[in-house]
């Protein structure tokens, strides 16, 4: 029996759109479906093709969650069509994922058409974008004013929300880990699949590559490490891919692999299982789906202490903080973690932690339902 028969509408990037927000939202919907009556909606088009920096916005191999495609961010006429569609549904709860101020006008516009009784909740992945613009604060204030309650994934984002709306009804629900439905491989098997040396200490940089994620800093630090290390980079570049390639080719070591592409779901686990340490040297951040993936694959993480990226990392024995990204201190930090046995201890802890991923998503859904009920 459903615990809450309320009618929910959920809007976000969802399959066939790819990326972290889509993956997160699909998992959230799956968890919510057991407790609420829910209809999901997504974009017709998220970005104009000519402005999209990657190879494609879509992955049609992703599991379909039944989301209706109703709006294009760059076509204001579809704002009205989608708003009327939402109003016709007469939802008790309307949930929208928010991660970019560019989408604020559209999401504010929708609230004008929703029934007065509808509870409007935003899951805020990012409030302040990594590449800041002069209008961000102005739009964020108006977006926060239009919604009744907020779910955030890190204390850093919660602080940003409260700075603009001190009386906000807000709950912090940490990012649950992801389930990957793939066979578990040994490091030797995973390295063989990727043509890597299983006897070297493998550092992994995974996911969408943008300048603020610190890959250049990682390559500079890797250059100072010995021949017993290898660097595995996997992800699509948004920006100047040639700059990364050139920097790698100038290294004295050839112990690196650069898979410059979007990694399909069925291949993701192999990269983590081939690695000893996932490195997230981000220069700015809120939280990271890559950290959640690493947790599910029992792989320690080393990440910068920016935004909410390192929240609870060491306290839960899931990884380590990186305090400095200059090459010398960065490389010394990596060496000390391996030399002192910290990596092995962390791996042992993660392998014995009996992580219940399904329950973690149920808990997230319960928190979302709770704030809806209390709004």
Q: Which tens digits make up the pLDDT trace of 260-283?
A: 998 988 899 999 999 999 999 999
C-beta pairs of 134-137 under 8 Å, 24+ apart in sequence? 135/101, 136/101, 137/164
Torsion of CA 294, 295, 299, 305, to 10 degrees: 70
Residue 204, beta-bridge partner list = 232, 278
List the chain domain ranges.
7-177+357-373, 187-351
Q: Which CATH architecture has domain 7-177+357-373?
A: 3-Layer(aba) Sandwich (3.40)
pLDDT at residue 53 greater than cutoff 70: no
Q: How many CB atoms lie within 10 A of CB 258?
A: 20
Q: Which tens digits make up the pLDDT trace of 127-150?
A: 988 777 889 999 999 999 999 999
The single residue listed with the structure tokens 């002069």 is 134
Q: For residues 8 and 40, what is the distance between their CA atoms, to the nearest angstrom?
A: 9
Q: How many CB atoms lie within 10 A of CB 94?
A: 26
Q: How many CB atoms lie within 10 A of CB 353?
A: 13
Q: If DSSP codes are grouped into helix, strand and coil, which group holds residue 119?
A: strand
Domains 7-177+357-373 and 187-351 share a fold: yes
Tell me which of 3.40.50.2000, 3.40.930.10, 3.30.200.20, 3.30.365.10 is the CATH number of domain 187-351.
3.40.50.2000
Peptide bond into 16 cis (omega under 30): yes
pTM of the predicted model as reported, rounded to 2 decimal places: 0.89
pLDDT value, residue 265: 87
């Amino acid at each position: 029996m459903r615990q809450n028969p309320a009618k929910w509408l959920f809007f976000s990037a969802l399959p066939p759109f790819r990326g972290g927000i889509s993956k997160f939202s699909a998992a959230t919907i799956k968890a919510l479906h057991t407790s609420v009556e829910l209809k999901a909606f997504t974009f017709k088009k998220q970005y104009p093709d000519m402005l999209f920096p990657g190879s494609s916005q879509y992955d049609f191999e992703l599991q379909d969650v039944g989301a209706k495609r109703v709006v294009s961010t760059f076509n204001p006429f579809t704002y009205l069509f989608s708003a009327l569609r939402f109003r016709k549904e007469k939802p008790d709860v309307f949930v929208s994922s928010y991660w970019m101020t560019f989408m604020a006008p559209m999401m504010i516009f929708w609230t004008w058409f929703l029934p007065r009784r509808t509870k409007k909740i935003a899951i805020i992945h990012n409030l302040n974008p990594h590449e800041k613009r002069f209008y961000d604060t102005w739009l964020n204030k108006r977006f926060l004013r239009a919604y009744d309650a907020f779910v955030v994934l890190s204390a850093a984002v919660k602080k940003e929300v409260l700075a603009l709306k001190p009386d906000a009804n807000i709950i912090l629900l940490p990012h649950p880990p992801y389930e990957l439905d793939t066979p578990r491989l040994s490091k030797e098997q995973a390295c063989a699949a990727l043509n890597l040396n299983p006897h070297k200490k493998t550092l992994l940089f995974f996911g969408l590559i943008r300048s603020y994620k610190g890959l250049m800093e990682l390559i500079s630090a890797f250059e100072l490490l010995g021949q017993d290390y290898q660097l595995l980079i996997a992800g699509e570049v948004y920006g100047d891919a040639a700059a990364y390639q050139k920097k790698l080719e100038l290294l004295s070591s050839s112990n690196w692999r650069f898979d410059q592409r979007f990694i399909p779901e069925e291949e993701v686990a192999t990269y983590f299982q081939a690695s000893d340490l996932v490195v997230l040297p981000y220069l700015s951040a809120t939280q990271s789906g890559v950290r959640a993936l690493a947790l599910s694959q029992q792989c320690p993480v080393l990440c910068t202490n920016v935004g909410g990226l390192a929240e609870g990392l060491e306290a839960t024995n899931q990884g380590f903080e990186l305090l400095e990204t200059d090459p010398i201190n960065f490389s010394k930090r990596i060496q000390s973690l391996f030399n002192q046995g910290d990596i092995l201890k962390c791996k042992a802890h993660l392998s014995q932690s009996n992580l219940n991923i399904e329950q973690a998503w149920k808990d997230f859904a319960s928190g979302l339902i709770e704030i809806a009920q209390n709004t």
